[in-house]
Structure formats: C-alpha cells, structure tokens
Amino acid sequence: DVKVTQSSRYLVKRTGEKVFLECVQDMDHENMFWYRQDPGLGLRLIYFSYDVKMKEKGDIPEGYSVSREKKERFSLILESASTNQTSMYLCASSLFLGTGGSNEKLFFGSGTQLSVL
Amino acid sequence: AQTVTQSQPEMSVQEAETVTLSCTYDTSENNYYLFWYKQPPSRQMILVIRQEAYKQQNATENRFSVNFQKAAKSFSLKISDSQLGDTAMYFCATMESVDMRFGAGTRLTVKP
C-alpha cells in the first residue's frame, strides 16, 4: 500500500516562527500536494508539485512556500507563522497518468494539526 | 480552476436507512474525474468511490453508489443500509489534469 507520512500529528508554534511541515511518500509518485482543512471551508489547495524542483500555486499560496528537492519529499514552509495559519494541514501524493486506472486518485497522510499562538 | 459545491453542511440518518449527499461542480474540461472521500474522526482520508467523466455508467462500490449527471454537473453519493461506521465527514472532489479540488464537506451522522 502507498504510504504518505507527515512528520508531526500535532504542532504548536509561536507567532513569527519559521515552521516546516514535512511529507514523505514511498511510492515514487510524481505529484505531491499540500492542502489546508478548515471547518466549513473543506480542503483548500496551497501548493502542488508535479516533479522535483517544480511547484505550482494552488488557491491559497499566500504566506506559504514549498520545497521539493527529492521526489519522495515535499515540504511546506511558513516563513513567519501567524495565528490565521492555525489549521489542519494535509499532504497527498498521486500518480496521474490520465488513463482512468485505479491509481488515478490522491493518497493522503494523516494530517498535522498546527496551532500558532 | 474547477470549483465544487456541497450544499449540505450536516446530515443525519437512521441506521439501516438510505441517505443521499449532494455535490455540484464546475469545470471547463471535458475529461476529468470525480471522487467522494470519507474522513472519519481518525482524520485519515479514505476514498469511497470514483467516477470517470467519460463513462456514462454510474459507479458503485458495495453500499455506495453515485448519480452522475454530466450535463447538470451533479455528482451525488447514495449510501444504502447506513452503518454506524459511516459516521464521518464526506468530501466531494474533482480532478482535472494533476490537481484535485474539494468541496466544503458534509458531516454525516448515523444514529442507532
């Protein structure tokens, strides 16, 4: 089975800190994603990457950056954490080929609940 | 980018009964995929069912089935014989190309 691992389940940081959220997948997937989940808003796409060193902005990239130096690892960076970034962060990966096969879906990590105080 | 709307923030159903969750979407693409994901209290996102837009036949997975109306851009999920373990958040999503977009979710409670 595909495994997507997020380094922390819960994280508490202070306003202004630089925060790194790490995500690793073990299935050689090209595509990796960072979502933010908030009540009433669902999952919103922050950034995604379709290859090493490649990144694309999602719907809410402001205040975030990402890094993908290796295929299996995709990091989300909060340069200067703010209280409005308190949220659940979900990482996902996929192998999208456009062929309609059973792997045409996202595989998710178990999430990191970040609190910024 | 595509958008997804789930108009029912919360729903409840009695155990063993049937419930339908609604989803509408907007996309400019002709080739795309549609999904329903379930998120129980454990927070792990679990794929419930998927549908290729080019297929007219509605997808089914055991007690879960969809009603896919491509012209209306509607993709509802029907859960038959509801079980207590179906209690969860349910998210509708569309995938064009690489990225996937989600709706706001519906919190489903199955009552004993």
Is residue A39 a part of any domain in this protein?
Answer: yes
Cross-chain Cβ contact B31/A98 below 8 Å:
yes
Q: How many CB atoms lie within 10 A of CB A25?
A: 23
From the list A114, A113, A107, A115, the residue with the least C-alpha distance to A24 is: A107
Is residue A116 a part of any domain in this protein?
Answer: no
Residue A98's pLDDT is 62
Judge whether residue A1 has pLDDT over 80. Answer: no
**Given CB atoms, is B98 within the 8 Å cutoff of chain A?**
yes
Phi-psi region of A112 (alpha: psi -120 to 50; beta: other; left: phi over 0): beta
**Given CB atoms, is B28 within the 8 Å cutoff of chain A?**
no
Is residue A101 a part of any domain in this protein?
Answer: no
From the list A14, A32, A9, A5, the residue with the least C-alpha distance to A78 is: A14
Amino acid found at B41: P
Residue B104: which of A40, A59, A105 has the nearest Cβ?
A: A40
B window 42-61, beta carbon within 8 A of A: 42-45, 47, 50, 52, 54
Contacting B with CB below 8 Å, chain A residues are 31, 33, 35, 40-45, 48, 50, 56, 58-59, 88, 90, 92, 94, 96, 98, 100, 104-106, 108, 110-111
Is residue A82 a part of any domain in this protein?
Answer: yes
**Which is more confident, A1 or A21?**
A21
pLDDT tens readout for residues B2-19: 899 999 999 999 999 999
Is residue A50 a part of any domain in this protein?
Answer: yes
Q: What is the CATH number of the domain that holds A58?
A: 2.60.40.10
Substitution target in A43, A49, A55 with the highest count of B β-carbons within 10 Å is A43
Residue B100's pLDDT is 87
Q: Give the distance from CA A49 to its chain's centroid.
A: 10
Alpha carbons A77 and B23: distance in angstroms, whole number = 32
Residue B81 Cα, gap to closest chain A Cα (Å):
26
Domains of chain B: 3-111 (2.60.40.10)
Q: Which residues of A touch B54 (CB under 8 A)?
A: 100
Structural domain containing residue A43: 4-94
Is residue A111 a part of any domain in this protein?
Answer: no
Residue B31's pLDDT is 84
Alpha carbons A98 and B69: distance in angstroms, whole number = 21
- Per-residue pLDDT band at B1 (split at 50, 70, 90): confident
How many structural domains does chain A have?
A: 1
Q: How many CB atoms lie within 10 A of CB B24?
A: 17
Amino acid found at A56: E
- Tally C-beta pairs within 8 A across A and B: 62
Alpha carbons B71 and B67: distance in angstroms, whole number = 12
Highest average pLDDT, of A24-28, A84-88, B57-61, comes from A84-88
Cross-chain Cβ contact B99/A98 below 8 Å:
no
Judge whether residue A64 has pLDDT over 90. Answer: yes
Which H/E stretch holds residue B39?
A: strand B33-39
Is residue A100 a part of any domain in this protein?
Answer: no
Is residue A99 a part of any domain in this protein?
Answer: no
Give the pLDDT mean for A59-68: 96
pLDDT tens readout for residues A16-37: 999 999 999 998 898 999 999 9
